[in-house]
Structure 1
Amino acid sequence: MDFNVVYAPWRLRYIQNVGKGECFLCKAAGERERDDENLVPARGKHVFAILNKFPYTWGHVMVSPYRHVSQFEELTAEEWAEMVDMARRLMEALKKTVGAGRFIVGLNIGRAAGAGLEGHLHLHIIPDREVEPGVDLPQALVKLTRELREAL
């Protein structure tokens, strides 16, 4: 199965609740004592990494500033530099953990760009690799998310 085709029915719960309640990135940023539960594998001075709870594909991780900013130009030089450095380190970890050789890395800014969460900028790192036929994808993603959290 090639993950160039996006089919992720487990995302329905996320899609149904997007825009309801508090910003999940602000919540995770402020709950350092709950990093395991919030799927936060790494923290820096200005940014943190968070695994996508409803991923499109294996090991989908995001890097977000602690500050609630929505536009690229609102980032400070320090936030941007740390975001890029953390993304680089996460990609190295993903290469080792999930065997990814290719990545999709990007920012979705605004609804037209596909942003599901418009108010809090975040950088997506999506490993692109093939998986074996017959894999129970939702169950495998849960298992991999746990393993990835520990490895990162």
Structure 2
Amino acid sequence: MSEPLRQDGIGDGDELDRLWTPHRMAYIRGENKPADASSGLCPFCRIPGLDDAAGLVVRRGELAFAVLNLYPYAPGHLMVCPYRHIADYTETTDAEAAEVADLTRQAMRTLRAVSGAGGFNVGMNQGEVAGAGIAAHLHQHVVPRWPGDQNFMPVIGRTKTLPELLTDTRALLAGAWAV
């Protein structure tokens, strides 16, 4: 929902539209953010137990899986996670590290094929101080990029646009996943 800031003395009359996203408050407050696997709150541990559509799982491997990000930076933003609940990349086995790398390459190929992505931001934020939103479970971000994708909207309009529903993006990627 978009509405202008009120001009009745409440707030600054900056004439910017506001897109209210109250669903993000759970994320901002850190609700359900696990410290370890014992709490049962880790989303990356829960997601594999859901069916692919409900969990937004794009691809499952033997040791890791690819899942869409609920709070994407760009359309098609996904994460590759080992099934095992570990926090640090150095804790991966050789086989886990290889499958995370392989699923990342497959994700990039698939995103290029279905969306014409011109580039990618790929990486892991290791630890809370390094920006990890869920530091307790290792996950690698794969963010597709296009020329002009971060145009004036976030800078001037202070708004991000996502042109496709997550369920539609998941179906598109899962159906076209390159093995």
TM-score bin (small chain): 0.7 to 0.9
Q: Please give the residue correspondences for 1:80-119 in structure 2 after superposition, counting only pairs within 5 Å.
A: 80-119=97-136
Which piece of structure 1 moves more, 116-125 or 12-21?
A: 12-21
Tell whether 2:161 aligns with 1:140: no
CA drift of 1:114 comes to 0.5
Structure 1 match to 2:176: 151
Higher RCO structure (Cα 8 Å, ≥6 apart)? 1
Distance 1:101 1:9, change over 3 A: farther
Task: Provide the residue aligned with 1:23 in structure 2.
Answer: 42
Q: Give the match for residue 94 of structure 2.
A: 77
Identity of aligned residues (%): 37
Structure (1/2) with the larger helix percentage: 1
The structure having more radius of gyration, on CA atoms, is: 2
3-state secondary structure, aligned to 1:137: coil
| TM-score for the superposition, normalised by structure 2 | 0.69
Structure 2 vs 1, CA of residues 139 and 18 (structure 1 numbering), >3 Å: closer, same or farther? farther
Cα RMSD after superposing both structures: 2.7
Deviation at 1:98, TM superposition (A): 1.6
2:7 corresponding residue in structure 1: none
Partner of 1:48: 65
Report if aligned partners of 1:52, 1:61 keep a CA contact under 8 Å in 2.
Answer: yes
* TM-score after normalising by structure 1: 0.80
Q: Which runs of 5+ in 2 are unaligned?
A: 1-18, 35-39, 154-159
